[in-house]
Structure formats: structure tokens, C-alpha cells
Structure 1
Amino acid sequence: MISDGARTYSISELSRMFEVTPRTIRFYEQEGLLEPQRRGQTRVYHDKDRVRLKLTLRGKRLGFSLAEIREVIELYDALPDGNARQLRRLLELLAEKRTNLQRQEEDIRLMRRELDDVEGRCREALEALPENTEG
């Protein structure tokens, strides 16, 4: 859509562009991440909404909560030095995510060791059984 010289988007255009359902876009709107204009019942999304949707989807892929995504977007929108504050906050959140991932990696390593140990004991016990006891 082109309106007043500025590019706008319908919900179906954004849906196709980002390969998400219109329901997903409406959900993000309900959560305050998108702010389309209304023309009657029709939602009209501007480039700002397209960028916000892109950032939201990227944030979700990286494991950010909607509250964290909203915080970063609002920092950028609300402050004259929003970009610098936004980037600093994003770096903090990324560091937290990295720490959590490292903790999860260690948990997975420990769990694999435990699984290997239990599997080894099961195989040893199975081999110790007389051959005709298998069902």
C-alpha cells in the first residue's frame, strides 16, 4: 500500500513478508509491540511497525521474552539518546541469554553423562542375564 507518499502495509502483506499468521501480528499488537493505524476495521501498518515486527521476531528467535523485547523497543522510542540506551540494554540482555545458554549446555553435558552411565549399566545387566530370558 502507498498512502501519502509513505509506504504502508496490510496485515496480509506483513504476514507474507515475515511468514507469520495474521493472528500472530494481532497478538503482538495486543501486547503493545505494534501500533497500526485504523481505517474503519482495517489495520494500516507503517514502516515503523514493519521494523518492530522484524525486531520482535528476531528477539523471539533469540529467546527474549515479549517484556524484554518491549523494553528495548520502548527505550528506543522514548528517549532522545534511545539508540545508545537501547544498545546498552540489549547488550545486557544478550549477556544474560549467553550465561543462561552456557548453564543449559553444562546441564545437558551432565545429563548425557548420566544417560551414558545408566545405559552402560543396563547393557551390562542385560548381558549378565541368561540368553533365554529375553522376551
Structure 2
Amino acid sequence: MTSAPTWTIAQIAEEFGVTHRTVRHYEDLGLISPERRGTQRVYHRRDRTRLALILRGKRLGFPLDEIRTIIDLFDAPRGRRAQLEYVLGQIDQRRTDLEQRLRDVQDAISELGEFERRCREDLGRLDHV
């Protein structure tokens, strides 16, 4: 019988490009739960998958409490279906928020450009006085 692959904290951290402290933080929050062999943490496929989901959620701007809900739904009786339905709702909310932020940034850039134009005109008039 072949044993399932396992990883150390160093291997997991390196693979995902995070620090050991980050991995331990997610463990402290209960988002991942590696096996303990004495003082050594042993990560299994489930921990690796959960860490990938956590980091993807963070990149997409989801707060940790939402990420926890998404991950926990996978273990729920309806499992994958409930998780996907929930995630789709969260994606819609996140997209709406990001689209509004993008419009706000575009408006600010436009306003800044107009302010810069007026300042340059004023400076040009001062140079010709």
C-alpha cells in the first residue's frame, strides 16, 4: 500500500510563495489543520488544497471570514454544490465592488488630469507675465 503524499511547512510555503508565518497564521485561524508529529507539522493533500483556496480567495480580495465559509461549505452535506452556489454569489458581489472601484479610480485620474491641465495653464500664464 502506498502512502499518500505529505509536505513539510517549508515545502508548502515554498510551493505557494508564502512565509512559514503565513502558513502558521492560517493554521491558528483553523483554516488548515496539519497533522502533528511531535513538533513537526505534516501537511496532507487536504491542507494543500485548502491553502490554495485561501490564497486564491485573498488574491481575489475576499476577506478571511468569507474564505472560511467557502472552504467549510465544501465539507457540508451538500458539499461542492453549496460551495459553488455560495461562491457564485460572492463573485457577483466582489465583481460589482471592483467595477465600482475601477470607475472611482478612472474618475479620480480624469479629475487629476484636468487639475494638472489647469495648473500648467496657470503656470504658463505666470511665465509670460
TM exceeding 0.5: yes
Local SS of the residue matching 2:42:
strand
Flag the structure with higher strand content. Answer: 1
Aligned to 1:119: 116
- 2:99 aligns with 102
Structure 2: give runs of 5+ residues left out of the alignment.
none
Q: 1:62 is matched with which residue: 60, 63, 77?
A: 60
- CA shift, 1:48, in A, is 0.1
Moved over 2 A (4+): none
Aligned length: 128
Using the size of structure 1 for normalisation, the TM-score is 0.90
For 2:101, the aligned partner's letter is Q
Alignment partner of 1:7: what SS? coil
- Please name the residue that 2:50 is paired with: 52
Answering whether residue 29 of structure 2 is matched by residue 31 of structure 1, we say yes
- Deviations along 1:82-123, one digit per CA (max 9) or x if unpaired, are 110000000011101100011011101210121011111101
Question: Could you list the runs of 5+ residues in structure 1 that have no partner in the other structure?
Answer: none
Q: Secondary structure at the match of 2:87?
A: helix
| Identity rate, percent | 46
RMSD: 1.3
Q: What code does the residue aligned with 2:78 have?
A: D
Query: 2:11, 2:87 → 1: CA distance?
Result: 29
> Distance in 2 between the 1:67 and 1:56 partners?
10
- The one-character-per-residue Cα deviations of 1:8-41 (angstroms, maximum 9, x if unpaired) are 1110110111111111100110111100111111
TM-score by length of 2: 0.94
**Residue by residue, what CA displacement relative to the aligned partner does 1:34-86 show, whole Å, maximum 9, x if unpaired?**
00111111111111000001111111111111111100000111x22111000
User: What corresponds to 2:69 in structure 1?
Assistant: 71
